[in-house]
Structure 1
Amino acid sequence: MSSSSAHLWGPVRRAENGPVRLAVDQLCEGAAGEPLLLVTGLGVNRLWVPDGLCRMLAAQGFAVARYDQRDGGESTHLPPTATGNPLSALFTKRGEAYTAEDMADDAVAVMDALGWRSAHLLGVSLGGAVAQRVAIRHPDRVRTLTSMAAVPGDTSGLRVMRYIRMRTLAAFARLRFPDTPDGAVSAGIAVARLLASPNRAFDERAAREAAERNADSGVHDRQAQSRQIGAQWHGPPISAITRPTLVLHGEDDPLIKPGAGRAIASRISDARLVLLPEVGHELPESAWGSIVTEIRGLADTARHLPPRPTS
């Protein structure tokens, strides 16, 4: 994954949700298009979404914005909690810092800061689960929902195990790097290797260049990841989602089984599932065209649907 080029993005703004301040910026290209908000994955900052993918989305008529989730990047980091291990936070002690509802409300706060009444959502990994919850909790703010490489947003605790490849999760949990810029680069390369499709040659040089451009300490911040992954959802099931939905999942995802994508699509009315060949838990350039085409098609379909009844 690549870092951002500063000239492509507008100035960083701050959205506020209570005491939490969220860093957000918008792609300069395509700013007059249909609003599309990117929701990032566990621990990582917003720069992990490749610029090339964002520019392709802009070329297809989208105004692209992205933000750092709480406990990620330049957004507010919460105080340490008793659970400092993502595995423990996922399966045992949960919800000590904030809720999944808080994280869903963060996305709406970002839309407010951008002046967007509604937006298309593209959430990847943990961001996919967050985007699903936004569609449940704030349906009038969501034009379409694209969930990629995610588990069902209403799944928690031991039920998550059916969707996770435990060997990869254990390997991820064993990664240890010093809290230095060099450590962040090494962690970025190791995570990229771990999450790449095993059916494509791993480009270590490209991974190193990307990690050096974006030395994101969030990839090995176990405390922050524990707080994010431990946020519990208390709302309705994902079957309550009524917004037009696309589910993308890499056929070779080494972390979250494609069965998770199938489960999401089967539980949301009229959702479309697309499995991406030779794609792992990642956003490789080889898949950008397919991703953009599917999101554009979803938006075009949604444009012709009757308006939602207001309560």
Structure 2
Amino acid sequence: MAQAHNGRIALEYETFGSSGTPLLLISGTGVQMLIWPDAFCEALVARGFHVARFDNRDTGLSTHLDGASTPSMFTAMLRPATAPYRLAEMADDAVAVMDALGWPAAHIVGSSLGGMIAQELALRHPSRVLTLTSMMSTCSARIATMPTKAVMNALKTLDGTPVRDAEDAGDRALALKRVMGAGGYPLDEQLIRDIGRRSYLRCPDDDEADRRQRVAMIASGDRRKRLGRVRVPTLVIHGEKDPVIGVKGGRATARAIPGARLRIFPEMAHDLPSALWPDVIDEIASLTTAQTPAPR
């Protein structure tokens, strides 16, 4: 692994493959780069991509803004400037990773909060984006961002008890995935536990850091009007059964971006099950062969 830098922010990243078309994976709230499984990254390499994944600021081995004053969600909505950072800065972090890799441009794939960061990246740095794939995400902090009661209860239960060790971290990851990713596909329990354990050993969960990322999302507001400026081929992927960011978020994102293709998987929740990897990778590969401006 290696580090890129955006000013005082260090960003831990890792690559798969040594050549091919650049593709950058951006992770969601509070999860480390490991959320993009090694085997998924290798499958992308097999399709001709040079893949990079990284820890967003405030996650994993990247810089944590410990001690930063973080407003409430309500305050962040009313007064965005009170947030320690917004999605714009997180998009700039992604560009710093691309700079460190020597990539003039890349195919950008983001999941959940990572999809929002990817959208912001396409707006702030259009020349650096070859294609945009937004997965399990939304185009506005006010659209489909209220999780179901079951998800909220699970989060409340887990937040109330400290993680004891790596094994406990793996068990908790699986417990949460059973609620968030409980669609129509079997869960790969061994993989989920492994990601939870490895993430804990790299860097235990940081609740305050997670809150800063959620505040960044709220403070960044509504992107729908600005997304009308996006001119790269765009793919929006969402699950009909997503209990974290409802499918309405995916539909709104696709409507906001000219020429965007919307692919909804009826049995998918807030997860990328291995059973869907071939379909998702096919969709991404098909998009990247287009690379023509979307219609105005």
TM-score by length of 1: 0.83
| One of 260, 263, 267 as aligned partner of 2:256 | 267
Cα distance, 1:171 vs structure 2: 2.3
Residue deviations 1:144-172, cap 9 Å, x none? 000000011xx23xx24x44334145225
Stretches of 4+ aligned residues off by more than 3 angstroms: 80-85, 87-95, 200-207, 216-220
Distance 2:250 2:204 in 1: 24
Alignment correspondent of 1:184: 169
Could you tell me which amino acid in structure 1 is paired with residue 171 of structure 2? Answer: S
Could you tell me which amino acid in structure 2 is paired with residue 15 of structure 1? Answer: A
Residue deviations 1:233-275, cap 9 Å, x none? 3786222212110000112212111111110001100000001
Alignment correspondent of 1:73: 60
CA contact (8 A) 1:69 1:75 kept: yes
Alignment correspondent of 2:36: 49
Distance 1:172 1:141 in 2: 38
> Does 1:212 pair with 2:197?
yes
Alignment correspondent of 1:20: 9
Cα distance, 1:201 vs structure 2: 4.3
The count of aligned residue pairs is 287
Alignment correspondent of 2:135: 148
TM-score by length of 2: 0.87
Unpaired runs of 5+ in structure 1?
A: 1-11
CA contact (8 A) 2:23 2:51 kept: yes
Alignment correspondent of 1:195: 180
Distance 1:90 1:284 in 2: 33
Alignment correspondent of 2:208: 223
CA contact (8 A) 1:184 1:215 kept: yes
Which of 120-129 and 73-82 deviates more?
Answer: 73-82
CA contact (8 A) 1:26 1:64 kept: yes
Would the alpha carbon gap of residues 192 and 216 (structure 1) be closer, same or farther in structure 2, given more than 3 Å must change? Answer: farther
Q: Secondary structure at the match of 1:63?
A: strand
Alignment correspondent of 2:46: 59
Could you tell me which amino acid in structure 2 is paired with residue 249 of structure 1? Answer: H
Distance 2:151 2:66 in 1: 25
Distance 1:42 1:89 in 2: 19
Unpaired runs of 5+ in structure 2?
A: none
Alignment correspondent of 1:164: 146
Alignment correspondent of 2:245: 256
CA contact (8 A) 1:187 1:220 kept: no
Residue deviations 1:34-73, cap 9 Å, x none? 0000000101110111112111111111100011000011
Could you tell me which amino acid in structure 2 is paired with residue 56 of structure 1? Answer: A
Distance 2:121 2:201 in 1: 26
Q: Secondary structure at the match of 2:289?
A: helix
Residue deviations 1:46-105, cap 9 Å, x none? 0111112111111111100011000011000002345488x6687677643112211110
Distance 1:113 1:120 in 2: 16
Alignment correspondent of 1:96: 83
Alpha-carbon RMSD across the aligned residues, in angstroms, is 2.7
